[in-house]
Amino acid sequence: MLLLGVKTFVRKLGQNLFIALQLAVTLILMVQIVSSVENRVGLYMPIRQFFSGRGAIVGCHMVMGDEQEIKSKFSDVTDVNGGYITGLSYAPKGSTGEKSYGAEALDNNFINTYTPEMESGVWLSDADCSADSSIKAVVTESTFGYTTGDIVEADFRPTDDAEFQNVSIEIVGVIKDDSPILGFSIQIYNSNSDFRDLYLSNNKESNPVPLLITQKEQIEQKGIPYAFGMRNIILNFNDDISESEEQEISMHLANYGQAMTFTDFNRNNQKYVTEEIARILPLMVCIFILLIVSTVSLNGLSVKSQLKSFSIYYILGAKWRQCITINFISSIITSVIAIIIAATAANVINLMGLWSFTVVQFGRVQLLSCLIVIIINLLASLILPIAIMKSNTPKEIITSTE
Amino acid sequence: MIKVNNIVKIYNPKSSNAFEALHGVSTQINDGEMVAIMGKSGAGKSTLLHILACIDNYQDGEYYINDTLVKNLSEREYARIRNEKIGMVMQDFALVEDFTALENVLIPLNFSKQKVKNKKEKALAALKSVGIEELAKKPCSKLSGGQKQRVAIARAIVNEPAMILADEPTGALDTKTSAEIMELFTSLNDKGHTVIIVTHDPLVAEQCHRIIELSDGNIVS
Ligand SMILES: Nc1ncnc2c1ncn2[C@@H]1O[C@H](COP(=O)(O)OP(=O)(O)OP(=O)(O)O)[C@@H](O)[C@H]1O
Ligand SMILES: [Mg+2]
């Protein structure tokens, strides 16, 4: 039976390759579409939990202190999230000059929320940041010359009037240029700001000074000072306050920088996400229609062309079910070839750099969408023969062509 | 032995263009017989043969193969009967044209319920017995009418069915080839196969033991 399935495929090689090609194109389009959707909402989904309920985003102009200090100043603040500035200073690689560049820190909350694309090495969530190990850090691409595995000699003062202490920081990874990084964007608030403004994209061309990011828990543990400030931070308020109270607290927070309530912020987020989805939806619907129409018609064509052989098999002792199985095996081969074509084409496109205008990744969602395409195709190759064979008995098929 | 009892066949039974092709046909064919079914075009010969071959149903009456009632069986049972008990030679040979002669003969073996050993040897032996062993590797589309008919016969006998059914096996062949094909059927009958041939040709019918004459869906003799 397997053999007959293979033969069935080979007999209509041209036609089946055409079907495979069509399927491959659909797969590539699907990956492309899903990627662009993911690209647009991929920055939103992980962080939306941080601005539920009441609260404000503050683009600080000054140092605000740690969470405790902020909470003590604003009794309605229940939680603070954002990137930290630290007391750590360092210099470019090999430089004996003054250590005048500051390092940053993220707490585990943010580290685990969004992983930027890495040029080399690993993101902080995959590094050993346990209490008794050395301080780990990631850097952005820069002219400072630090790469994965390098040790950065840094110093800090535990308190303002203490002596400088030296500390070694191990670079565990380099963040790719232009990859969004959560927590370090600076004051850019206007009434149109949305979630995208909580990310910073660094590029060594426009900013040669790297971002050197450590883990806040490690910094704290080594007695290095850290604080919120100079960056955008997210403040959550008590849930039982009203929208006007939210507005009022935000007014007070505006002393530290620009402040925007969650209410306004989320309105902008919603607007952006719906607009983007609305932009992509027609394309998705088109591709879906293309998928359905082409799979159904091509599979129908394929079954029709095999119908006579299947009737012959039937007369010689096959069950209809076996004929459908044979057709199904042929379809599976077609699908496998389609996947191979699609994967090859994707690699070629990638190598030629034609995809640089959109970020195409191949992750779980893309895999799932490809799986759906394949399943629809296989289902069509199961249902269509059943439908076609239902309307004609094998005898009718064989005698009608006599 | 096969027996049909008051078989009624209606095409498109539930629609307005329902057509009764057989009006209660009864007959009996014994093992080892060689029978011709004759009659005018449209008399119902093919219809009857298709019912005997288990590729068509009937509305009323009974069809027995060796005392087994062949009616409302499961799909699996019908498939098994078609595969093991019946060798069918269709009117236009019904070969898979892009398969080779050998591949065509292998089809019944591939759908056999039992595990068949030495499939290829068996198929080659069947081709040899119809005298075209040397054409085994040739695609059927490249064969002549007589050669195709031989492939169809080889395919019909490869599972050694008790009964061989042929629908106008000489209809499309010249006189000389017809005679050769009839020789084949006669020798198969000599080996013990029951042979039932639908034909228009009196010369063909002459070589059978008995003629069943159909007219407008009734047996007249
Ligand atoms: N699928 C069908 N639907 C409706 N009517 C049919 C169908 N097949 C056959 N018939 C009708 O049934 C009658 C018997 O047909 P059948 O094919 O058995 O005749 P036949 O004796 O084999 O004729 P021929 O010698 O031309 O092959 C004919 O009148 C034919 O038109
Ligand atoms: Mg006929």
Q: Model confidence over B70-102: pLDDT tens digits?
A: 998 998 999 999 999 999 999 888 999 989 999
The H-or-E segment that residue A173 falls in is strand A165-175
Domain count of the fold of chain B: 1
User: Touching check for A241 and chain B: CB below 8 Å?
Assistant: no
Please say if the pLDDT value at position B13 is more than 50.
yes
pLDDT at A253: 87
Contact at CB, A316 and B75, closer than 8 angstroms: no
pLDDT at A354: 64
Residue B112: its chain A contacts at CB < 8 A? 317
Distance from A349 to chain B by nearest Cα, in Å? Answer: 38
Contact at CB, A318 and B98, closer than 8 angstroms: no
Residues in contact with A114: Cβ distance below 8 Å, sequence separation at least 6, in sequence order: A43, A46, A47, A180, A181, A182, A199
User: Touching check for A5 and chain B: CB below 8 Å?
Assistant: no
pLDDT at A367: 85
Residues A136-148: b if buried by 16+ CB within 10 A, e if exposed: bbbbbbbebebeb
In this structure, the answer to whether residues A37 and A118 fall within a common structural domain is no
B217 ligand 1 Cβ < 6 A = no
The H-or-E segment that residue A189 falls in is none
A389 alpha carbon – ligand 2 mean position (Å): 23
In this structure, the answer to whether residues A60 and A191 fall within a common structural domain is yes
pLDDT at A401: 55
Tokens representing A17?
A: 């390759």
pLDDT at A402: 42
Contact at CB, B96 and A315, closer than 8 angstroms: no
In this structure, the answer to whether residues A64 and A166 fall within a common structural domain is yes
Q: Are A125 and A136 in contact (CB under 8 A)?
A: no
In this structure, the answer to whether residues A303 and A167 fall within a common structural domain is no
CB pairs under 8 A between A and B: 64
B90 alpha carbon – ligand 2 mean position (Å): 10
Of the three residues A189, A221, A238, the one that is the final residue of a domain is A238
In this structure, the answer to whether residues A220 and A321 fall within a common structural domain is no
In a domain, A228, yes or no: yes
Its domain, for residue B190, covers 2-219
In this structure, the answer to whether residues A226 and A329 fall within a common structural domain is no
Q: What angle do CA B116, A2, B141 make, to 5 degrees?
A: 85
pLDDT at A347: 82
Contact at CB, B94 and A319, closer than 8 angstroms: no
In this structure, the answer to whether residues A167 and A292 fall within a common structural domain is no
- What's the CATH code of the domain at B157? 3.40.50.300
Contact at CB, B55 and A1, closer than 8 angstroms: no
B47 ligand 1 Cβ < 6 A = yes
Its domain, for residue A284, covers 2-44+272-401
**Among A66, A65, A64, CA closest to A253:** A64
In this structure, the answer to whether residues A276 and A323 fall within a common structural domain is yes
Q: How many CA atoms lie within 13 A of B166 on its CB side?
A: 36
In this structure, the answer to whether residues A210 and A328 fall within a common structural domain is no
Residues in contact with A352: Cβ distance below 8 Å, sequence separation at least 6, in sequence order: none
Domain count of the fold of chain A: 2
CB proximity under 8 Å: B 149-168 to A: 155, 159
In this structure, the answer to whether residues A99 and A39 fall within a common structural domain is no
| pLDDT mean values, one per 10 residues, chain A (402 residues) | 84 87 87 79 84 89 87 90 92 86 90 90 88 88 90 90 91 91 80 87 86 92 90 90 90 87 90 86 84 84 85 90 90 92 85 61 79 88 83 78 48
